[in-house]
Structure 1
Amino acid sequence: MRKHIKHILVLAVVLITTIAFSQNRQNDTINTGVIDVVKPYTPTISDAFKVKETPSLDDETTETKKEIKYNIFSFPVASTFTPAKGKAATVEKQAPEKLYDNYATLGLGSYTTILGEVYLNHAISRNESVGGYVSHHSSGGDIEGVSFADSFSNSKINLNYASRLRDLAWNVEAGFQHQMYNWYGVPESQVAQALNNGIDVGHSFYEAHFGGDISFEDTYINSGSFFFRRFGDNQGSGENRLKIQSTVDVPINGEEISTDLIIDYLGGSFDRNYFTDEELSYGNFQIGLSPSYELKQDDLTVNLGVSLFYLSDKESGKSKFYIYPNFTASYRLVNDVLIAYGGIQGDLIQNSYYGFANENPFVSPTLFIMPNDLLYNAYVGLKGKLSSNMSYNISGRYISDRNRALYKTNVVRNVTPEHGYDYGNSFGIVYDNVDTFSAAGEINIDVNRNFTLGLKAEYFTYNTDDEAEPWNLPDFKGSLFLDYQIDEKWFAGANLYYVGERKDILEMEGSLTPEANVPAVLDSYFDANAHVGYHVNEQFSIFGKVNNITDKAYQKWQNFPVQSIQFLAGATYKFDF
């Protein structure tokens, strides 16, 4: 307490003294002067320094770290909880469709039409299989306005065996075919005479073949094949053809040149030519070599090649060498949306009686057979995808043919006809140099997995050297295809064809009257076909077809009308052994 009193007294004395001194200054009469010192202001910037985010501490407490020990005191706890096992969520999916190795189809329709087909396949082992098929299509004819038999039939049988090993795969096949047609297209001016003579307009073909092919893995020899065919008819005609082909890779300076080697022999004879009883024989032997080299760089692909052929005509004893270009290229301008392509190619095409008869079954057995010298086929185009389900293809081409085969109606004989094809109701072959320009467009739409649509159109112009017209070549072709899987059971489809005008001629033997030999114009025609079907179960289906819906007996060939509207119904059964 005494210490506090002492401090209080000292503070009081200091305060009184200060007050007294202040009062003395107030009474001072001395005048004081004011001196202002002026100095320019010169600012300065001190050095900046960065403050450390983690300051250094030097105290003993910080430097000395204490060791911390963690101890867990665990003891068991009784529990009756049992966690459920995890289970993946299931997604409902459709069961995969059962695929069968065999099927049989049978259909019956108007004009006494019969359609049948059986396909069989059996796996002998994991690497071997054997199969075959039998098919038949026939019709009784009965075309309105036709005075002669107009039925047709086409029957085939084929057997095959296939084997696949580790480094190679091979198969062999053999088959037989029989076809029957009639030269029913007798011009109106010749119908009475043909009926009086009681001509037989029937014409049948037969064909037997045997062949095989083999392919290799990781070798310079990629593949090889051979094929032999015997073809003939009931008019004494016969033809043999043997074709051997191989593809090999030839290494040159570290690069591989893909090379095709072709050996093709064709020989045959007809009992007579069209005007005389002299036998008509032909024989062509050719060897072809086609090397090509592929260059790829980014979006550009180029194939550089050439085709070399040696042709020997066995009947005339003449031989000749042919050289053709073989260049193709494509460039992706915009990925898969826009692809430009083009090329120029040539070929020596081996014509045959078999090929002519299958394209036009109304040819006469009096043909002169020679190869087609295709000088070049130059083309350019654009293709790609407009969307994920729509593709297109636009192209233009210029083709130069030498000795192109043209179908032309045979001359009407003015002597007593001896054969069923002498009345202007059959077709012969004439050869001419033909230049062709064409422009084509194609579009394909896959709306979904169940609906597809395709449309194609092509326009042609021709120029011939010797013949007055490009006989039986159309100026326009168009087609539309449609397939629709309505649901799991129902399905439907349609196909439409349009063929433009063609020209032919009907000539009388020995006639010099120009009016009698005027080219005839064959009208364009439109053919619409549709079908619908129902899957009764996974093995059994029924279907119905309607052909030539427009009900027009148009002429595909001069004086050969086709059947009008046709109906057909049938069933298909799939099975396994």
Structure 2
Amino acid sequence: MINFKYRIFSIGLLVFSTAVFSQIKEEKLILDRKREPEVKKIEKKKTSVEKEKNYPPEAKSQNPVTYEITNVPAVSDFRTSTIQGEDISPKFDADYQNNYFQIGMGNYGKILADGNISATLENKMEVGADLHFLSTSGLKNDYDWDSKQSSGNLGAFLNSYGELGKFSINADFGLKNYNYYGIYAFSDIPEVNLGPNLDLQQKVNQFKINGYYDFYSNEILNDIRLKSSILSDHFGAKESQAEILLNLSKHGVDLPKFNDVRLNGDLGINLEMLKSDFSILDKNTSNFFNATFSPKITLFKGKSYLMLGSDFSLLNGTNSNQTLPEDLKSNKFYWFPKAEVQFAATDEFKFYAGIDGGLKLNSYANSLDQNPYLVSDQVLLPTETKYHGYFGLRGDIDQNIKYDFSAGFAKINNVMFFQGNNFYDPDLATNPAYGYANTFSAVYDNGTVSEVKGSVQYFPLANLTLDAELNFAKYKLDNYENIFNRPLIKVSLGGKYTMLDKKLNLGAKAFFASDMTTNAYSVSDTFPFFGMQESTNEKVGGFADLNLSAEYKIHKNFSIFALGNNLLNAKYQTFKGYKVLRAQVLAGVKITF
């Protein structure tokens, strides 16, 4: 059976390599050979604070850029917001098109609604809104209890292009409604009632407001960004985040004593606040304020450069819960090195090496993005990358192939990962949704990580794009023998192809992941005295997941589309106990106006 599945997958890749495929949306094709091809996983970065892409002013596009791999999680999961593998459902993206609405239906009771509308006013101000909703009835044949899920986002945005810069503001409300359905430890205990009326519900609401102003000139004040979010869930958790990012810069300074050498100076200022409160179990509370200053200078000669800088962070934090005799307070100063050198022999071969580090505040919201099945009571600690050294080779071969290969080694304190929880209440008759060994908690350890990354994009034709990415990460921790719920190897293959004068768009995305190590519990069957035994070397099997999409434009204002997810029909798990949907097909119509 396994060989048969992989034959199907091999045939799929053969078709993919000859005809390939495209995302479901209309592509923005760039035919000029001097183009910078749209690459999904290599993002351009220019200053100390992360930049937004697609700036309108030509002045900014002339500044030197560097390439950096973006780690795209190669994880297919049961959350309907990502449908299986990747959210290749038609979600709003300003790079493709505005003013459309589409609806689709599929097996597993899947319903999709997606749309966007925008208008440009007389004063060059653009206003708009977008909607995205997806739901599924879940795995009714695999679980006796409810595993249905739904997610939705409703957003509004405003863009204004003035004489000095671009102003953007957007607001977004997101709702995820799902269940802690991954019960495995009690399935063989007949005395435990796990019937269809079992309430396993979790619901997460998040409201975000972001503002951004980008000056067209790089003279001193480059850009400023404001971010804020408020989160709440079904169990009374509350979390608020606020962040201000300011980028000061002076670019393109000529150095008369050095021929053809230019100097860029940058100062990034980042002020971040995070407050989290939980209402159940130990009732953890955390409150953090972090101020980071990131000065750096970069010397350019042609496409070679030398960057020198540092990150200085001042962290003030408090953790408390009802089991601690007093609050745990910290007030600490951090220094992180930052340097990178690139030697560009040609456009095709650019060798680079560097070192960096930093401090990351781990929030409940970001943790739920990685694992939605966390119990609503978490100890949140910042992760400190003391140093991360790396080297690599990247290039652009005849504007047809872009590649970036690198290897690195890092020392990290408070590496965050997720371990499975025991049951919380031995009296299962009154145990709530999170009490059946079906949730996870963040745990931390110090250690090192060795990594290898690779990313390739191939543009053989103006209407054909292929991409591949590989991530290898080996952790060695001080206290834990293995890191839980992280695969050693992740691979993704993708492509998009348009034909018939852009009337037919085809797309493909394949994901591979190796086994993950996790902890798991087993229950003795001596009722009512339960004994829980933990294993710290359980395996969650790897997977291969193939996703395809197609859209055909019947009329300039009317299209039909189809999505296929997990087409290898693999019945794997994202976390222990959490099975994914098997092969899915969804079809629908799109109206453009």
What's the TM-score once normalised by structure 2's chain length?
Answer: 0.76
**8 Å Cα contact 1:213-1:223 kept in structure 2:** yes
Equivalent residue number for residue 155 of structure 1: 152
Distance 1:522 1:445 in 2: 33
Shift of 1:451: 1.5
Name the counterpart of 1:377: 388
Amino acid at match of 1:313: G
The residue that corresponds to 2:437 in the other structure is: 424
Is residue 2:299 matched to residue 1:284? no
The partner residue of 1:142 within 130, 135, 139 is 139
2:375 counterpart of 1:364: yes
Q: Tell me the distance in 1 between the aligned counterparts of 2:370 and 2:158.
A: 29
Letter in 2 for 1:279: K
* Aligned equivalent of 2:270: 262
Q: Note the alpha carbon deviations across 1:38-92, whole angstroms, 9 max, x for none.
A: xxxxxxxxxxxxxxxxxxxxxxxxxxxxxxxxxxxxxxxxxxxxxxxxxxxxxxx
Q: How does 1:58-97 map to 2 (within 5 A)?
A: none
Going from structure 1 to structure 2, the CA distance change for 1:388 and 1:309 (only over 3 Å counts) comes to closer
Contact 2:103–2:113 (CA under 8 A) maintained in structure 1: yes
What letter matches 1:181 in structure 2? Y
Asked if the contact 2:571/2:581 (under 8 Å) is kept, the reply is: yes
CA RMSD of aligned residues (A): 2.4
Letter in 2 for 1:240: S
User: Deviation digits for residues 442-492 of structure 1, max 9, x if unmatched?
Assistant: 322111012211122222221011122100110111110011113223221
Distance change >3 Å, CA 194–CA 352, structure 1 → 2: farther
Q: Which residue of 2 aligns with 1:180?
A: 177
Shift of the alpha carbon at 1:198?
Answer: 5.1
User: Are the structure 2 counterparts of residues 327 and 523 from structure 1 closer, same or farther at C-alpha, using a change threshold of 3 Å?
Assistant: same
Alignment of 1:477-496 (within 5 A): 477-488=490-501, 489-496=503-510
- The answer (yes or no) to whether the contact 2:573–2:580 under 8 Å persists in 1 is yes
Structure 2 counterpart of 1:424, one-letter code: A
> Are the structure 2 counterparts of residues 196 and 111 from structure 1 closer, same or farther at C-alpha, using a change threshold of 3 Å?
closer
Which of 429, 436, 451 matches 1:438?
A: 451
**Structure 1 counterpart of 2:313, from 304, 309, 313:** 309
Change (3 A) 1:287 1:129: same
Matched residue of 1:506: which SS?
A: strand
1:323 pairs with one of 335, 359, 363: 335
Partner residue of 1:295?
299
C-alpha separation between the residues in 1 aligned to 2:298 and 2:534? 56
Contact 1:439 1:460 in 2 (8 A): yes
CA distance 1:414–1:509, shift in 2 (3 Å): farther
Cα 1:100–1:281 change in 2 (3 A) is closer
Matched, 1:167 2:164: yes
Equivalent position SS for 1:314: strand
Partner residue of 2:245? 245
After superposition, the C-alpha distances for 1:179-207 in whole angstroms (9 at most, x for unaligned) are 01111100153464251695411100001
1:126 Cα deviation (Å)? 4.2
Are the counterparts in 2 of residues 141 and 149 from structure 1 also a CA contact under 8 Å? yes
CA deviations over 1:316-367 (Å, ceiling 9, x no partner): 332000111111221112x211111122111111110000112111111011
Alpha-carbon deviation of 1:377? 2.0
Deviations 1:133-177 (A, max 9, x none): 111011111253222211111111111112221113212221211
Measured after TM superposition, the shift of residue 100 of structure 1 is 5.9
Answer whether contact 2:170 2:209 (CA < 8 A) is retained: yes
What residue in structure 2 maps to residue 344 of structure 1? Answer: 355
Partner SS for 1:232: strand
The question of 1:394 aligning with 2:405 is answered yes
**What SS does structure 2 have at the residue aligned with 1:545?**
strand
Counterpart of 1:235 in structure 2 is 235
Any idea what SS the aligned residue of 1:526 has?
A: strand
Q: Is the 1:331–1:339 Cα contact (8 Å) retained in structure 2?
A: yes
Q: State the distance in 1 between where 2:203 and 2:414 align.
A: 28
User: Offset at 1:384?
Assistant: 1.5
Alignment of structure 1 residues 105-116 onto 2, 5 Å: 105-116=102-113
Match of 2:78 in 1: none
Given that residues 472 and 504 in structure 1 are in contact (C-alpha distance below 8 angstroms), is that contact kept between their aligned partners in structure 2? Answer: yes
Task: Single out whichever of 303-312 and 454-463 deviates more from structure 2.
Answer: 454-463
Measure the CA separation in 1 of the matches of 2:157 and 2:381: 32
Contact 1:363 / 1:428 at 8 angstroms: preserved in 2? Answer: yes
What do residues 283-340 of structure 1 show as CA deviations (whole Å, max 9, x unaligned)?
111101000101012442111110000000134332000111111221112x211111
SS at match of 1:364: coil
Which residue does the alignment assign to 2:545?
A: 527
Q: Separation in 1 of the partners of 2:536 and 2:226?
A: 46
- Cα offset for 1:438? 1.5
Q: Deviations over 1:429-448 (max 9, x none)?
A: 10011311122233221110
Superposed CA offset, 1:539-558 (max 9, x none) = 21111111111111100111
Tell me which amino acid in the other structure corresponds to 2:582: S
Corresponding residue of 1:223 = 223
2:347–2:397: 8 Å Cα contact kept in structure 1?
no
Q: Residue type of the partner of 1:297?
A: K
Name 2:581's counterpart in structure 1: 563
- Are positions 1:332 and 2:344 aligned together? yes
Within 5 Å, give how 1:22-61 maps onto structure 2: none
- Correspondent of 2:460 among 440, 447, 458: 447
C-alpha contact 1:134 1:157 (8 A) present in aligned 2: yes
| Structure 2: runs of 5 or more not aligned | 1-95, 256-262, 320-327
Inter-CA distance 279–515: structure 2 relative to 1 (3 Å threshold): closer
Larger radius of gyration: 1
* Contact map agreement 1:286 1:310 (CA 8 A) in 2: yes
Rounded Cα–Cα distance in structure 2 between residues aligned with 1:307 and 1:452? 37
Query: Partners of 1:364 and 1:515 in 2: how far apart?
Result: 20
In structure 1, the partner of 2:512 is 498
- Counterpart amino acid of residue 340 in structure 2: T
**Residue 250 (structure 1) shift:** 6.7
SS of 1:355 mapped into structure 2: helix
Summarize the Cα distance change of 1:100–1:241 in structure 2 as closer, same or farther, 3 Å threshold: closer
Call closer, same or farther: CA 1:404–1:509 in 2, change over 3 Å: farther
Deviates more, 1:204-213 or 1:409-418: 409-418
Give the paired residue count: 472
Distance 1:414 1:239, change over 3 A: closer
The residue type paired with residue 494 of structure 2 is: F
State the 1:271 CA deviation. Answer: 0.7
Aligned residue number for residue 54 of structure 1 = none
CA contact 1:412–1:506 (8 Å) conserved in 2: no
CA distance in 1, matches of 2:196, 2:582: 29
Equivalent-residue separation in structure 2 for 1:299 and 1:197 (angstroms): 63
Which residue of the partner structure matches residue 354 of structure 1?
A: 365
Q: Which has the higher contact order (CA 8 A, sep 6+)?
A: 2
Sequence identity (%): 22
Q: Is this contact kept in 2: 1:194–1:423, CA < 8 A?
A: no
Deviation sequence 1:21-49 (CA, Å, 0-9, x none): xxxxxxxxxxxxxxxxxxxxxxxxxxxxx
Length-normalised TM-score, structure 1? 0.78
Aligned counterparts of 2:394 and 2:451: Cα–Cα separation in 1: 17
The answer on whether the counterparts of 2:241 and 2:272 sit within 8 Å (CA) in structure 1 is yes
Question: In structure 2, what residue type is equivalent to 1:146?
Answer: Y
8 A contact 1:190–1:423 mirrored in 2: no
- For residue 212 of structure 1, what is the aligned residue in structure 2? 211
Distance 1:284 1:324 in 2: 19
CA contact (8 A) 2:521 2:533 kept: no
1:356 counterpart SS class? helix
Aligned to 1:553: 571
Provide the rounded CA distance (Å) in 1 between the counterparts of 2:276 and 2:248: 31
